[in-house]
Structure 1
Amino acid sequence: MSPTELVLRYAAFAGLATLANLAAQRLVLAGIEGRAGFVLAVIAGTGAGLVLKYILDKRWIFFDRSGGVQTHARKFALYTAMGIVTTLIFWGAETAAWLIWQTHAMREAGAVLGLTVGYVVKYRLDRRFVFARAG
């Protein structure tokens, strides 16, 4: 796969994971308001985006064909660990936008910005530590 194809594919998957994240957040916020709704929405969105992105990255970015419950559990744990710092980038940008403007449109803009920066960092970490042998 060419570098351009890789970037386009990774960007498309990041976009899908971002949409899954924001959709999950909207579902939570539709039923729960206030601070509790915000916190639960961010957690639910992060989980939805994480699982989708792992599945897509493993198969279509790093071409990792490994199988088995133990292998998947170990890789998903590493993938999640690499995402801790990048999740803090995402949460920080989203929370900052919410605190500054207190509108859902700006909260989502902050989330998109944070996710974009986070995904660039995450690709590099995953390539080096999670899928090094597979990719």
Structure 2
Amino acid sequence: MSRTDLILRYAGFAVLATLANLAAQRGVLALWEGALALPLAIGTGTLAGLVLKYLLDKRWIFADRSRGAAMHARKFTLYTLMGVATTLIFWGTETAFWLIWKTDPMRELGAVLGLAVGYVVKYQLDRRYVFAPATPSAPA
């Protein structure tokens, strides 16, 4: 796959995951009111985007064909851990935009900007630590 194809595909998947994230947030905010509504919406949206992005990245970005529940659990755990710092970027940006402007459009703009920065960082981490080709171990 060419570099341009990779960038376009990765960006497209980031957009899909972002849309899934925001749709899940809107769904929670439509059903829930009160002090915990925003944190619950952000957490639900994050989970929805994370699962979708993992499935797309594993197959279509990193061409990872590993199989088995243990391997999937290991990789999804690593994928999630790599996303902790990038999720903090996203949450921080979204929350800052909400606290500054207190409007849903600005909160969502903060989410989109935070996710965009986070996805650039996440690709580099995933390429290096989650989906890196296995290195042969040295003989004992």
Matches within 5 A, 1:103-122: 103-122=103-122
Aligned-partner Cα distance in 2 for 1:17–1:72: 19
1:1-60 C-alpha deviation (Å, 9 max, x unpaired): 000000000000000000000000000000112331101000000000000000000000
State the match for 1:130 in structure 2: 130
- The one-letter code matched in structure 1 to 2:9 is R
Question: Separation in 2 of the partners of 1:67 and 1:33?
Answer: 42
Partner of residue 74, structure 2: 74
Residue deviations 1:71-98 (CA, integer Å, cap 9, x gap)? 0000000000000000000000000000
2:64 maps to a residue whose letter is: D
Partners of 1:52 and 1:133 in 2: how far apart? 22
Structure 2 equivalent of residue 32 of structure 1: 32
Q: Distance in 2 between matches of 1:89 and 1:9?
A: 22
Aligned to 1:102: 102
RMSD: 0.7
**C-alpha distance in 1 between matches for 2:68 and 2:56:** 17
Task: Give 2:42's aligned amino acid.
Answer: V
TM-score scaled by length of structure 2: 0.94
After TM superposition, where is structure 1 displaced by more than 3 Å over at least 4 residues in a row? none
What is the aligned residue count?
A: 134
Alpha-carbon distance in 2 for matches of 1:129, 1:74: 12
Amino acid at match of 1:129: Y
Alpha-carbon distance in 1 for matches of 2:133, 2:44: 31
Give the gaps of 5 or more residues in structure 1. none
Query: Greater CA radius of gyration, 1 or 2?
Result: 2
Unmatched runs of 5 consecutive residues or more in structure 2: 135-140
1:16 and 2:16 are equivalent in the alignment: yes
Alignment correspondent of 1:61: 61
- TM-score, length of structure 1 as denominator length: 0.98
